[in-house]
């Protein structure tokens, strides 16, 4: 698995469909995978993170934008969040 590509794809997907409204776990994932919550001294890498976020916000197909990350290997594909509503 191409780790960097999958991380960038995950950032793109989080920006495309924010999950912070899905409780504490969703908020934590949003914080971890959203550029701008921390500082990075590596400007080139930081640019890649921001570009991934921009792509997602603009509705780009994240799987096509990061084809080195095989289908089924993205971070968000490793788990699902189910909303049961009021029980």
Average pLDDT over residues 66-70: 89
Which tokens go with 49? 């993170």
Confirm if 9 and 50 have CB atoms less than 8 A apart: no
Res 12 pLDDT > 80: yes
pTM above threshold 0.85: no
Which tokens go with 45? 């890498």
């Amino acid at each position: 698995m191409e780790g960097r590509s999958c991380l960038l794809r995950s950032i793109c997907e989080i920006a495309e469909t924010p999950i912070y409204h899905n409780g504490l776990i969703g908020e934590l994932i949003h914080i971890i995978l959203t550029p701008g919550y921390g500082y990075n001294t590596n400007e080139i890498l930081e640019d890649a993170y921001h570009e991934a976020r921009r792509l997602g916000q603009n509705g780009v197909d994240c799987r096509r934008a990061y084809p080195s990350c095989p289908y089924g290997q993205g971070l968000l594909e490793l788990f699902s969040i189910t909303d049961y509503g009021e029980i």
